[in-house]
Structure 1
Amino acid sequence: MKKNFFERFSDRVVCITGSPGAFVGVSLLVVIWAVCGPIFNYSETWQLVINTGTTIITFLMVFLIQKTQNKDSKAIQIKLNELIASYEKASNRLVDIEDLTEEELDQLHKYYEKLGKLSNESKPSSNSAGQQHRYK
């Protein structure tokens, strides 16, 4: 599968910016900027340098991070769908659940919470004789 330029670029940038080396490098830049404060008499230009730099970087990174999260989310959804499809007793009613509204998702969440509570209430106690022999 051939990736387009933007995918290759964004994957690489996200990898680099998430590395310890990038964190150390940016931390050093902030320290250098702070040390330069007295040299430039804490001028407006001195403040503008860091404000402008961080704003531009943050603005661009938001898009790269969102792209990466979207890609990861799609991959996880596909993997989960594959697991559901491979288990013959599994219900596939929730395969396209990501297309539901927030309100519909909240309703489903409440339903499955109730279902989980009912399931826990109907399970036999873990102190039963059958359970003790199985784990000894």
Structure 2
Amino acid sequence: MRDTFRSIADRTAVIIGSPWTFVGSVIVTGVWLVLGPVFQYSDTWQLTMNTLASQATFLVAFLLQNTQNRDTRALQLKLDELLRSTTGARNDLVQLENMSDDELDRLHEEFETLKRRRSAREPRGPA
């Protein structure tokens, strides 16, 4: 089931992200607008487009989120491998994404302090 869902999510991400899908959605919207006078801008005319758009958005959101989650996980694993294999790297930064918000805030402040110290030590260019 997971592999089938992954395959569907990957294909959907490629299709939804293509220029042709955008052009198709513009055409569908244009046809819907042109048909407005034909259906006298009825509630059914409005409801049809609203329902189609809502359902498409709802379903595609799950598929794209699955793709994004997998891509993020793969990227994190690649970064973890780089940290593990780099001499002098802080291995405690591996699995950083699992830290609490407070821990991340403290680490952010630490890096900001390091950045300020480094820029204070760097010589200024000609004035």
Which sections of structure 2, spanning at least 5 residues, go unmatched?
none
Mapped partners of 2:42, 2:103: distance in 1 = 53
Looking at secondary structure, tell me which structure has more helix per residue: 2
What amino acid does structure 2 have at the position aligned with 1:32?
Answer: V
5 Å-filtered alignment, 1:8-47, equals: 8-47=7-46
Mapped partners of 1:96, 1:17: distance in 2 = 31
Pairs aligned (count): 125
5 Å-filtered alignment, 1:1-136, equals: 4-126=3-125
Q: Deviations over 1:77-119 (max 9, x none)?
A: 1111111112111111111111112232122112211111111
Q: CA deviation at 1:14?
A: 0.8
TM-score by length of 2: 0.92
Mapped partners of 1:65, 1:102: distance in 2 = 25
Q: CA deviation at 1:126?
A: 4.8
Q: Which is greater in Rg?
A: 1
The answer to whether the 8 Å contact 2:83/2:91 transfers is yes
Mapped partners of 1:123, 1:68: distance in 2 = 42
Mapped partners of 2:94, 2:105: distance in 1 = 16
Q: CA deviation at 1:51?
A: 0.4
TM-score by length of 1: 0.86
What amino acid does structure 2 have at the position aligned with 1:96?
Answer: Q
Which sections of structure 1, spanning at least 5 residues, go unmatched?
128-136
Q: Deviations over 1:18-40 (max 9, x none)?
A: 10001101110000000000000
Runs of 4+ residues over 4 Å off in structure 1 = none
The answer to whether the 8 Å contact 2:32/2:49 transfers is yes
Mapped partners of 1:45, 1:102: distance in 2 = 48
Q: Deviations over 1:30-74 (max 9, x none)?
A: 000000000000000000000000110111111111111111111
RMSD (Å), alpha carbons: 1.4
